[in-house]
Chain A
Amino acid sequence: MKPTSALLAALALLAALPVLAASAPGARAAILDGFAERARAADPGFEGFDGERGRALFEGDWGLGKPDTPSCTTCHGPDPRRAGQTRAGKTIEPLAVSVTPSRFTDPDEVAKWFFRNCRSVLGRECTAQEQGDFMTFATGL
């Protein structure tokens, strides 16, 4: 390999690094964009997502859904940076993206868990606004 081609290869690798690194954040951004789109469709006055509203949703003691799961923290625990535990004893990886980088990267999983867990805790499905706020909260930790 000539020095120039080696240099080119190294440069190509360097150029690819941000793309590789960006794949998870990229997937998250796409999911969040989807929520934003739906939130705007539901409310033309949509002003973006707010991590603090997400935190309130996470920490709230709702008690509106199933009796055994009054709050997100019932299973996720009070600190999203730490692991939680299901009622059946399985460990739940921390919600915080900074600790669990794979969080909110698979749209089907995100849809499935919001559907189930909002119904378990709130007794209804969450709005796009709520889901985007929650995701913003978990991503910003």
Chain B
Amino acid sequence: MFVAPRRSQARQVRTPSDQPSAPSSDTEVPVWDLPTRLFHWALVLAVSVTLGTGLFGMPQRLNLHLLAGGSVAVLLVFRLIWGLVGPAASRFSTALASPRRVLDRLRRADTATYLGHNPLAGAVLFGLLGLLGLLVVTGLVSLGGEEQRGPLAASLSWTTGRRAHGLHELLAWGVIGAVVLHLGGMLIESLHLRENLPAAMVTGLRRRPDAGAVELPALRPRRTLGAVAFVALVLLGGAWLASTWGTAPSGWSSLDEHPDQALFEAECGSCHTLYHPSLLAADEWTLVMQTLDEHFGEDASLMPEPAERITALLIEHGNGTWDTEAANELRGQQDPAEPMAVTSNRWWAEHHRDLEEAALASPDVRSPGNCEACHLDAVQGRFGGHRIDVPRSAQP
């Protein structure tokens, strides 16, 4: 696979240039073609944004995280194709080396200069691409199961999404580790060779190596095939997204069809946020409806007939019947001393700890029970991280 030519051979095996206009001189040779360089820097940007939003911006920056993560997925598709049909330096075949050769490189038994990826760099490349691929997959599973969004929302349970989320976080640290290895290796290699390798990823040019360097095989990029495959795969992915967009999530159903939904909305939503039936268990709802004359400091009595119909709706659609994030997290966490107040729920309290007095004093929030002041999808019972919008007056 690798060509370790003698000096005479090195002249013959010209490093393939897929850019006829790429400057080649006596001192420099083109290695990284333009698509690979664009891919590299676009991936740097996309991974930085996904890591930044993932580590520091959750849940408010989820949409940006998804946008950047989606970009990573598209870039991976390109790299996968370019690894098979691109120019020599970008081909997986030239980066792939046996574990023995990777170890040799690590132990400095192999100190050759490689124009493309050395065995260790190749291992880091595959590790990084593999980790990013797994991150895309676990991200989609987590999004579908936990947040009930995306193409997998209709087919995954919350528990599955939750597990994938844990794995997703673990893999993210793996990516950070792989990036550190990549940067460390690049730095060591740059110092060792006294060559500016990061600049090579900008210009595409590397210093013409001395004798004994491992040059690249003569492989011409198959641009048309690559472009067709890329467009086809991206269209296929797009069609998959489009066909699954907006399908009903598995753990969540709309109450709009319920004959008493309008009554429920009108009666229970006139003084406070229309608390979603999934927020309390059936027996807790029964208690709420039996004590409407002492309802959180006010009399909220209803006539018997509408009260009965609303009670039936709440029991039918109580917490136990939902597989949403909120329903799962709130389940069993209610304070027995205050069975009717969602704000006494342990999970709720944990996630609203930073809800400072200032926020509650804001005229736009006023009460900790005013869910919809910040959760734009509270009434639907979704409580998506991306739908949190704290009003300006409540921000610290």
Q: Could you list which residues of chain A lie within 8 angstroms of chain B, going by C-beta atoms? A: 65-69, 85-90, 108, 112, 115-117, 119-120
Partner of A68, one of B273, B298, B301, B369: B298
> Which residues on B sit within 8 Å (CB–CB) of A86?
271-272
> Which residues on B sit within 8 Å (CB–CB) of A65?
299
> Which residues on A sit within 8 Å (CB–CB) of B366?
85, 87-89
> Which residues on A sit within 8 Å (CB–CB) of B364?
89
- Most chain A beta-carbon neighbours within 10 Å: one of B297, B298, B301: B298
Q: Give a binary string over B353-364; 1 marks a CB under 8 Å from any A CB, 0 the rest.
A: 000000000011
Closest Cβ of chain A: how far from B301's Cβ, in Å?
A: 6
Closest Cβ of chain B: how far from A86's Cβ, in Å?
A: 5
Q: Which 5 A-B pairs have the closest CB atoms?
A: A88-B272, A89-B370, A89-B366, A68-B297, A119-B299
> Which residues on B sit within 8 Å (CB–CB) of A90?
269-273, 370
Let me know if B303 and A112 touch, CB within 8 A.
yes
- Number of B residues near A (Cβ < 8 Å) is 22
Residue B373 at the A interface, CB < 8 A? yes
Let me know if A88 and B299 touch, CB within 8 A.
no
**Nearest B residue (CB) for A119:** B299
**Nearest B residue (CB) for A65:** B299
Known: A112-B303, A119-B293. A89 touches B298 (CB 8 A): no
Let me know if B367 and A89 touch, CB within 8 A.
yes
Partner of B298, one of A69, A85, A108: A69
Let me know if B271 and A88 touch, CB within 8 A.
yes
Closest Cβ of chain B: how far from A139's Cβ, in Å?
A: 21
Let me know if B367 and A87 touch, CB within 8 A.
yes
In angstroms, Cα B240 to Cα A123, docked, is: 61
Let me know if A67 and B301 touch, CB within 8 A.
no
| A-B contact list, 16 entries, CB within 8 Å | A68-B297, A69-B297, A86-B271, A88-B273, A88-B296, A88-B367, A88-B370, A89-B272, A89-B373, A90-B271, A90-B272, A90-B273, A90-B370, A112-B301, A119-B301, A120-B298
Residue B263 at the A interface, CB < 8 A? no
In angstroms, Cα B369 to Cα A126, docked, is: 29
> Which residues on A sit within 8 Å (CB–CB) of B271?
86-88, 90
Residue B10 at the A interface, CB < 8 A? no
> Which residues on A sit within 8 Å (CB–CB) of B300?
116
Residue B302 at the A interface, CB < 8 A? yes
In angstroms, Cα B134 to Cα A129, docked, is: 73
- Most chain A beta-carbon neighbours within 10 Å: one of B271, B299, B301, B367: B299
> Which residues on B sit within 8 Å (CB–CB) of A89?
272-273, 364-367, 369-370, 373
Let me know if A120 and B299 touch, CB within 8 A.
yes
Known: A90-B270, A90-B272. A116 touches B298 (CB 8 A): yes
Closest Cβ of chain A: how far from B297's Cβ, in Å?
A: 4
Closest Cβ of chain B: how far from A35's Cβ, in Å?
A: 19
Partner of B302, one of A66, A112, A119: A112
